[in-house]
Homo-oligomer: A and B are copies of this chain.
C-alpha cells in the first residue's frame, strides 16, 4: 500500500464513500501489508524473477512434494535442494514435471528455459568437493545465469587453474568450493577483480573437523574480495553469485 492508496482511502472516508469500520479494518492490516516487501516468498519472487526454493533436508518426501505442488501452481523453475532420488521418483509418480540433477541433489520443478545472462564461474578444489560445487552451479543455472565449471583445480595443481585465466577475468562472480585447508579462494581472490564467494566443504578427515578448518581458513583469507557461506552451502553461494551477476536487473530503475 503506497501513499497514493492511502490518500485514496482517506478521500473515500472524507467523502463518506467508505464507513469507518471498513477503513479501520484496512488500516489495521497496514503494518503487515506495508511490510509487503518483506514477503519474500511471494512478492519478491514475482518482482525479481527468482524462483521459489525448498530446502529438502529434514523434510519428509510427502512434505517436500506437497510444498512443491503448492508452489508449482504459480511458479516455474522451483528449486528443491538436498533431495535424494526417491523424492524425484515420488514427484514423477504424482505427475509433476521436474528434472533431477543427481550430483547436485537438486530437483527443478516446472523447469523452464531461460536465456542465461552474465558470467558465473564455479570452481572446485577436488573431486570430492563436486557435489557442493554442483549445488552452486545448478542453483545459478536455474536462476538464469551463464555458468562455467572449473573442477579439480586445487592449490597443489595451480597451473590447471591458470589455464583458465581468461575465463576467471571474464567472470562477474566466482564461487569456490574447497575442503581440507580451504586455501583455494585466497589464490583465486588474488587473481581476479570480481567478488569471490567461498564455500567450505566438509571434505577431509581428522583435523578438518568436518569443514571447520576450511571455514576458518576462508574467513581468514588474506585476499580482499572474498566472503564466505556455511559449510557445504552450495545453494547459498550459487544464490548470492546470481544476485551479484544479475544485480542490474534486480535494482534497475531503483534510483530514478
Give A residues with C-beta under 8 Å from B.
Answer: 3, 6-7, 10-11, 13-14, 16, 20, 23-24, 27-28, 30-32, 34-35, 37-41, 44, 47-48, 50, 53, 57-59, 63, 118-119, 125-128, 154-159, 162-163, 165, 169-172, 180-183, 186-187, 189-195, 197, 200, 202-233, 235-237, 239-240, 243-244, 247-248, 250-251, 254-255
Contacts and interface: CB of A to CB of B under 8 A. Distances in A.
A204 B220 contact: yes
30 contacts: A6-B27, A14-B14, A14-B16, A30-B31, A31-B34, A31-B35, A39-B159, A41-B157, A48-B193, A59-B128, A155-B183, A155-B187, A157-B190, A158-B158, A180-B220, A193-B251, A194-B247, A195-B195, A202-B206, A206-B211, A206-B230, A206-B233, A207-B219, A213-B217, A214-B220, A219-B230, A224-B236, A227-B236, A228-B229, A248-B248
Contacts of A220: 180-182, 204, 206-208, 213-214, 230
Contacts of A211: 206-207
A16 to B, nearest CB: 7
A217 B217 contact: yes
Q: How many copies does the complex hold?
A: 8
A191 B36 CA distance: 9
B20 A30 contact: no
B30 A34 contact: yes
Contact of A170 (B44, B186, B226, B255): B255
A225 to B, nearest CB: 5
B181 A186 contact: yes
Given A59-B128, A181-B219, A183-B222, 16 more contacts: A30-B30, A31-B32, A37-B165, A39-B159, A119-B254, A155-B187, A155-B223, A170-B251, A181-B218, A182-B217, A183-B183, A208-B216, A212-B216, A219-B229, A227-B227, A244-B247
Residue of A171, A186, A227 with most partner-chain B CB within 10 A: A227
Contacts of A6: 24, 27-28
User: In terms of DSSP, what is the predominant structure of the interface of chain A?
Assistant: helix
A24 B223 CA distance: 31
Nearest to A131: B58
Contacts of A212: 207, 216
Contacts of A235: 224
Q: Which 10 pairs of residues, A with B, have the shortest CB-CB distance?
A: A206-B231, A183-B183, A58-B128, A213-B216, A227-B227, A156-B190, A181-B217, A181-B220, A180-B220, A207-B219
